[in-house]
Amino acid sequence: MSPGEERLYLRLLGLAGFASMASMRICDPMLVVLGEEFQISTGEASAVVSAYAVVYGIAQFFYGPLGDRLGKLRVISLAVLACAVFSAITALSFNFQMLVIVRGCMGAAAAGVIPLAMAWVGDQVPYERRQETLAKIMSATLLGMMSGLWFGGFTADTLGWRGAFVVLSGLFVVAAVLLLRQLRGQALAMATDAPSFLSSFHTTARLLAMPRVRWVLAVTAIEGALVFGTMAFMPTHLHEHYGLSVAAAGSVMMLYGVGGLLYSQMARRWLAWLGERGLVKTGAGLVASGLLLLAWGIASWTGMLACLLAGLGFYMLHNTLQVQATQMAPAARGTAVTLFASSLFFGQSMGVLLMAQSVNRGGLAYAFSAAAAGVLVLGMVVFRLVGRR
């Protein structure tokens, strides 16, 4: 593939990743409003987040083999089109049960976007350039996360939460059309030497038998529980503890993404200065500091600083793990990376469930503090893991 083609596909994958991440985080600032509309607690409303994460994780077992068999870009394109459909249906939900079910379907569709985009980068880009290239994809997904957090809070406070999903559906339509148009000339280019779909599941079993794969997947699941699980309730804490409106809480959460963008734009320099292990140590320390500051701060500016620090630290840590995931099984990279994503979102679903109990009991600050301690321990484990390729 020529450099020009690579840049074009990276832009298209970035657009798809932007929309996918926006859909993933758009409900976080809505939890308070959803609880009020459907007359349930904020903890119960978090089912829209955990349902998305659980199904997202389960679907990875299918998307990995599909991507290896049918072609990663083709599967991504169809997944984006399905996201457009389910996002539109979400806006029509007439009760909370339907909303949870459709959000689960949305998770199933979105599961075929970002992980397969990472796997495609692993196929096309040498290891020496992979950290930097993944950071470019991450920039687009970070912008999507920031937009989803802000727009979810804005529409929940002003236009109504349903409007957010209508706009999101339109964004997915644009991404799907552009991807399918680019792939139209490759419609008959399916590889004939690709492994059968069934043998791909055998590949999954072989990967899970590898000790290094199990270690990477285990620490990824714990990372998802500690960081993504707490992230889902950060807007709620900003609203309840700092007295911010729902829209303002979503806006402050954008600083989490700003921290990630700061990392992604300087990824090459960070790597040169700190090395992979230095990124892990620094990242874990920043996440823990951010969570503690968010938990016990008393002024709104401390909440803002906490989100910035946590975002910067998380992406230092997480992008290093992503690179490990792309390299842990090069012969079956699509399956390996989707297993990585599956572990991440299973961990998130468990983290959300545990955090929901803290919300119902009024103990979010203590839960954030416990998560901070867990991130420091996790950082020590990942420090030992990184570099053993």
228 pLDDT band (50/70/90 cuts)? confident
pLDDT tens-digit readout, 324-349: 777 777 766 667 777 887 888 888 88
Q: What is the mean pLDDT of residues 69-82?
A: 90
CA gap 103, 93 in Å, rounded: 10
| Structure confidence at residue 236 as a pLDDT band (50, 70, 90) | confident
99-116 pLDDT, tens digit each: 999 999 999 999 999 888
**What is the pLDDT at residue 287?**
96
pLDDT of residue 312: 93
pTM of the model: 0.76
Maximum pairwise Cα distance, the chain: 61
pLDDT of residue 189: 45
Look at residue 127 and tell me whether its pLDDT is greater than 90. Answer: no
The percentage of residues in the chain with a pLDDT greater than 90, rounded to a whole number, is 38
Q: If we measure between CA atoms, which residue out of 130, 379, 97 comes closest to residue 267?
A: 130
Q: How confident is the model at residue 282 (pLDDT cuts 50, 70, 90)?
A: very high
Cα-based angle 314, 315, 319 (whole degrees, multiple of 5): 125
Give mean pLDDT, residues 93-102: 94
Instruction: Kindly write down the DSSP assignment for every residue of 89-156, as one continuous string.
Output: HHTT--SHHHHHHHHHHHHHHHTTTHHHHHHHHHHHS-HHHHHHHHHHHHHHHHHHHHHHHHHHHHHH
Q: Write down the mean pLDDT value for the chain.
A: 85
Task: Yes or no: say if 355 and 45 are a contact pair by the CB < 8 Å rule.
Answer: no
Q: Residue 341: its pLDDT value, please?
A: 78
Per the model's pLDDT, the better-predicted residue between 324 and 300 turns out to be 300
pLDDT digits (tens, 9 = 90+) for 178-227: 998 888 755 444 444 455 555 666 777 888 888 888 888 999 999 999 99
pLDDT given for residue 190 in this prediction: 47
In eight-state DSSP terms, residue 18 is H
Task: Name the band, by pLDDT with cuts 50, 70 and 90, for residue 286.
Answer: very high
Confidence of residue 81 (pLDDT cuts 50, 70, 90): very high
Please tell me the predicted confidence (pLDDT) of residue 194. 52
pLDDT digits (tens, 9 = 90+) for 13-61: 999 999 999 999 999 999 989 999 999 988 889 899 889 988 988 887 7
In this predicted structure, the answer to whether residue 360 has a pLDDT above a threshold of 80 is no
DSSP 37-75: HHT--HHHHTHHHHHHHHHHHHHHHHHHHHHHHH-HHHH
- C-alpha pair distances (Å), 68 with each of 186, 187, 192, 235: 16, 16, 12, 38
**What's the pLDDT at 89?**
96
CA gap 374, 222 in Å, rounded? 9
Give percent above pLDDT 70 in the chain.
91
pLDDT surpasses 90 at 254: no
Answer yes or no: are the C-beta atoms of 91 and 36 closer than 8 Å. no
Q: What is the pLDDT of residue 173?
A: 95
